[in-house]
């Protein structure tokens, strides 16, 4: 059974710091891995999608890497801003199923 | 660009009532998914449809049913509502373009259901 874990569960940092959020999954048989952002009580905004054949994806200040063989992904946020404060979820798309398996999330707070 | 549209945004129902949630996927997306997110929890997969046929099923209670219509919109019907059904319900859509790989999921803003 696929399990997805995110570390840390919560993070509070001053503005301007570079951050690394970690995601690990137990079964490497995945199509892709996706990082989402969720503001309190709001929907899920897709940040980055990494296909299983890819090693990383970049969008602005965000960079996500994928090491499928070791079951790990990291989301790197450069020069963090208060507007980055949200919960960040990673999710994997396993083979032979439609569903996304979500991690438990990292709750990020960036203070001025 | 068009996104996944869900309605209503908020819904308050009493116990044992029925609720219907609607989802309009991104045009030309062939797969629709429903997720339930309880307070402080990660989203849990309920059910999915590919080309209007149920394609996968998760932890969806027997009191819930869903379908996808000819215009690709989907509805989640929830009967005999319980207090524990209070949650955010998300719809997502994706495109496989006929292949096994998909190109990521786009989520709607969700419907917040409160059962009182």
Question: Taking 90 as the threshold, does the pLDDT of residue A79 lie above it?
Answer: yes
Please state whether the peptide bond connecting residue A8 to the residue before it is cis, i.e. omega within 30 degrees of 0. Answer: yes
Average model confidence (pLDDT) across chain B: 90
- The C-alpha atoms of residue A86 and residue A107 are separated, in whole angstroms, by 6
The shortest CB-CB distance from A98 to any of B31, B90, B112 is to B31
pLDDT of residue A10: 96
Q: Which of residues 61-100 of B touch A (CB under 8 A)?
A: 88, 90, 92, 100
Both tokens assigned to A7:
């570390």
How sure is the predictor about A111, in pLDDT bands with cuts at 50, 70 and 90? very high
How many Cβ atoms from other residues are within 10 Å of residue A91's Cβ?
A: 24
Q: What is the DSSP letter of B25?
A: P
Residue in B closest to A33 by C-alpha: B104
Cβ contact A46–B33 (<8 Å): no
Question: Taking 70 as the threshold, does the pLDDT of residue B7 lie above it?
Answer: yes
Could you tell me what percent of chain B has a pLDDT over 90? 72
Query: Residue B85 — φ and ψ, nearest 5°?
Result: -80, -10
The structure tokens 């790989």 sit at: B101
Find which of A44, A51, A54 to mutate to test the B interface (most B CBs within 10 Å of its CB).
A44
Question: Taking 80 as the threshold, does the pLDDT of residue A73 lie above it?
Answer: yes
Residue B105: name the closest of A45, A108, A30 by CA.
A45
Cβ contact A44–B43 (<8 Å): yes
pLDDT of residue B104: 77
pLDDT of residue B95: 82
pLDDT of residue B102: 57
Whether the CB of B107 is below 8 Å from some CB of chain A: the reply is yes
Average model confidence (pLDDT) across chain A: 94
- Which whole number is the average pLDDT over A18-39? 95
How sure is the predictor about B97, in pLDDT bands with cuts at 50, 70 and 90? low
Cβ contact B33–A98 (<8 Å): yes
Q: What is the DSSP letter of A82?
A: G
């Amino acid at each position: 059974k696929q399990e997805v874990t995110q570390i840390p569960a919560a993070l509070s940092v001053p503005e301007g710091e570079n951050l690394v959020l970690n995601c690990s999954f137990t079964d490497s048989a995945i199509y892709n891995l996706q990082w989402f952002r969720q503001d309190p009580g709001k929907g899920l905004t897709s940040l980055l999608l990494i296909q299983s054949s890819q090693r990383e994806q970049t969008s602005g200040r965000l960079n996500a890497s994928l090491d499928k063989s070791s079951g790990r992904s990291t989301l790197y946020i450069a020069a963090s801003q208060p507007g980055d404060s949200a919960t960040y979820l990673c999710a994997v798309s396993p083979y032979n199923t439609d569903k996304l398996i979500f991690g438990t999330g990292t709750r990020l707070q960036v203070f001025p | 660009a068009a996104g996944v549209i869900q309605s209503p945004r908020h819904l308050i129902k009493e116990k044992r009532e029925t609720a219907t949630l609607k989802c309009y996927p991104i045009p030309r997306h062939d797969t629709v998914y429903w997720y339930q997110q309880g307070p402080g929890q990660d989203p849990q997969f309920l059910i999915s449809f590919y080309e209007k046929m149920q394609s996968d099923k998760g932890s969806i209670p027997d009191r819930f049913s869903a379908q996808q219509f000819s215009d690709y919109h989907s509805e989640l019907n929830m009967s005999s509502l319980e207090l524990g059904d209070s949650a955010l319900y998300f719809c997502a859509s994706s495109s496989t373009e006929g292949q096994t790989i998909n190109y990521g999921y786009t989520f709607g803003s969700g419907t917040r259901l409160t059962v009182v």
